[in-house]
């Protein structure tokens, strides 16, 4: 594993001095070589660390909690991987396996959504079966993408199902092809929640989950800095309500990722600050649900 500690000051500089002291570890994974429309998510991890500090507080008014009380460690970014996704999967799976343990969870910062696949594989080895909670605009259930590839950000949830995922809760989905739509209707492993009430009903109290958040889950009016913006979508308030459901259910979040921020597509950098706040609330919620 080759993780580079950030050379610049980062908003997420707080937390523990060493990974061994941490309950949660942050790490950046900048792969974006299967981008199907606009590339640039490789710059997401760097930008989340370097830009939003002056626009963020460590304290959350939503939950009355402070990052200063969270035992997390920012491990830095993996060296970039380019080209063929198959070597990337092996490299990222190995890195995740080193970063996580029974008592330490990973929040991976992307990068494109394909990076969820190696993290799913590594997490499954350690934790066995769990539920994938997928917040996204796109179903990502394609068997073959638009250029004939089986391994891409638009096929990532199908790859996880093929690798043994038994329960996939999807919320916010509003785009996909006919095959994906039919799969969501007919595959009993997939729960296509269409409201917060259905999302709530889809999860059991204390359930073990992995949470994957594609930033195009949000309305592009809030987060235009993403490669495949999709009309409609959630607000930050909707996201807070989802976290409140997870907290009330006392689910066990065993891992998470936050993907598809392409900061250079939003010259205002509002997308970066918005996603920084998404990450802050995710960190606090994972800490609350340890």
State the burial class of residue 191 (Cβ atoms within 10 Å of its Cβ: 0-12, 13-18, 19+): buried
Per-residue pLDDT band for 152 (boundaries 50, 70, 90) equals: confident
**pLDDT at position 16 over 90:** no
What are the residue boundaries of the structural domains of the chain, listed by start?
Answer: 3-288
pLDDT score at 268:
93
Cis peptide bond upstream of 81, omega within 30? no
Per-residue pLDDT band for 54 (boundaries 50, 70, 90) equals: low
Contact 180, 142 (CB under 8 A): yes
**pLDDT at position 53 over 90:** no
Query: What digits encode the pLDDT tens for the residues 115-138?
Result: 999 999 999 999 999 999 999 999
pTM of the entire predicted model? 0.94
SS3 content of the chain, % helix, strand, coil (to 5): 40, 20, 40
Per-residue pLDDT band for 1 (boundaries 50, 70, 90) equals: low
**pLDDT at position 238 over 50:** yes
In CATH, the architecture of 3-288 is: 3-Layer(aba) Sandwich (3.40)
């Amino acid at each position: 594993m080759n993780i580079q500690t950030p050379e610049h000051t980062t908003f997420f500089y707080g937390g523990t001095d060493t990974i061994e002291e941490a309950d949660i570890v942050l790490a950046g994974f900048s792969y974006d070589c299967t981008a199907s429309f606009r590339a640039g998510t490789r710059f997401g991890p760097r930008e989340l660390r370097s830009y939003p500090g002056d626009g963020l507080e460590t304290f959350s008014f939503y939950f009355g909690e402070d990052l200063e009380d969270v035992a997390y460690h920012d491990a830095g970014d993996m060296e970039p991987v380019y080209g063929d996704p198959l070597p990337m999967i092996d490299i990222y799976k190995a890195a995740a396996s080193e970063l996580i343990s029974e008592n330490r969870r990973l929040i991976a910062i992307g990068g494109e959504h394909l990076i969820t696949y190696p993290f799913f594989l590594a997490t499954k080895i350690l934790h066995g079966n769990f539920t994938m909670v997928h917040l996204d605009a796109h179903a990502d259930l394609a068997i073959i993408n638009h250029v004939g590839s089986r391994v891409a950000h638009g096929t990532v949830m199908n790859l996880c199902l093929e690798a043994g995922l038994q329960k996939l809760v999807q919320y916010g989905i509003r785009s996909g092809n006919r095959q994906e739509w039919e799969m969501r209707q007919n595959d009993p492993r997939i729960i296509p929640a269409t409201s917060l009430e259905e999302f709530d009903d889809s999860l059991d109290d204390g359930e073990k989950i992995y949470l994957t958040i594609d930033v195009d889950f949000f309305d592009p009016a809030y987060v235009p800095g993403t490669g495949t913006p999709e009309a409609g979508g959630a607000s930050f308030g909707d996201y807070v309500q989802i976290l409140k459901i997870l907290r009330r259910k006392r689910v066990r979040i065993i891992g998470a990722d936050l993907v598809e921020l392409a900061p250079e597509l939003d010259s205002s950098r509002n997308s970066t600050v918005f996603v920084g706040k998404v990450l802050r609330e995710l960190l606090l919620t994972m800490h609350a649900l340890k």
